[in-house]
């Protein structure tokens, strides 16, 4: 292999829409904007929590606003897509029988457990 192979410049528009696989890859990568944004929103919530009950109630109301609900629904959809793609890759990282199934089972158990604790 040559040391400095020539790489033809290619714009993102040129390759992303060339195959549905690349579009799915980009959707998966864009999940980080929503997961990261939602986490930053939770840091804002911690600030409210540190300021007292009034600030916390205002934060919960912000989450219930139309924009808050829309953002959380989008985050939920992208987060689910991230989970599914992440767990489906586990057999490549760790080639053990039923490794993906084990992750899905643990995911279900953790989700149910947290929902139960919070109810």
Partner 1 sequence: MKSHKPIVWGPFAAGGTLTAFLTPVLVALTLLQPQGLSYESMHAFAAHWAGKVVLAGAIFLSLWSAAHRLRITLYDLGLRADALAAAVLYGATLACTGAAAYYLVKI
Site string for partner 1, 73-102 (x = CB under 8 A): x-xx--xx-xx--xx---------------
Give the other-Cβ count within 10 Å of 31's Cβ: 20
Output 18 or 39, the one with its CB closest to partner 1: 39
Site string for partner 1, 24-53 (x = CB under 8 A): --x--xxxxx-xx-xxx-xx--xx-xx--x
Give the residue among 30, 33, 58 at the shortest CA–CA distance from 44. 58
Cβ partners under 8 Å of residue 81, min gap 6: 27, 28, 31
Count of residues of this chain found to bind partner 1 when the rule CB under 8 A is applied: 46
The angle subtended at Cα 116 by Cα 47 and Cα 102, nearest 5°, is: 105
CB 23, CB 56: distance < 8 Å: no
- Closest approach of Cβ 21 to partner 1, in Å? 14
Q: Is 106 in the site for partner 1 (CB under 8 A)?
A: yes
Cβ partners under 8 Å of residue 59, min gap 6: 44, 45, 48, 49
Contacts with partner 1 by CB under 8 A lie at 11-12, 26, 29-33, 35-36, 38-40, 42-43, 46-47, 49-50, 53, 56-57, 60, 63-64, 69, 72-73, 75-76, 79-80, 82-83, 86-87, 103, 106-107, 110-111, 114-115, 117-119
């Amino acid at each position: 292999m040559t040391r400095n192979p020539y790489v033809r410049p290619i714009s993102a528009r040129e390759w992303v829409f060339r195959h549905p696989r690349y579009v799915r890859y980009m959707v998966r990568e864009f999940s980080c904007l929503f997961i990261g944004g939602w986490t930053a929103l939770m840091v804002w919530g911690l600030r409210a929590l540190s300021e007292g009950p009034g600030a916390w109630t205002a934060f919960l109301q912000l989450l219930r606003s139309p924009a808050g609900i829309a953002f959380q629904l989008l985050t939920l959809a992208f987060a689910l897509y991230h989970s599914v793609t992440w767990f489906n890759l586990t057999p490549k990282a760790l080639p053990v029988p039923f490794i993906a199934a084990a992750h899905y089972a643990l995911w279900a158990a953790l989700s149910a457990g947290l929902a139960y604790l919070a109810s």
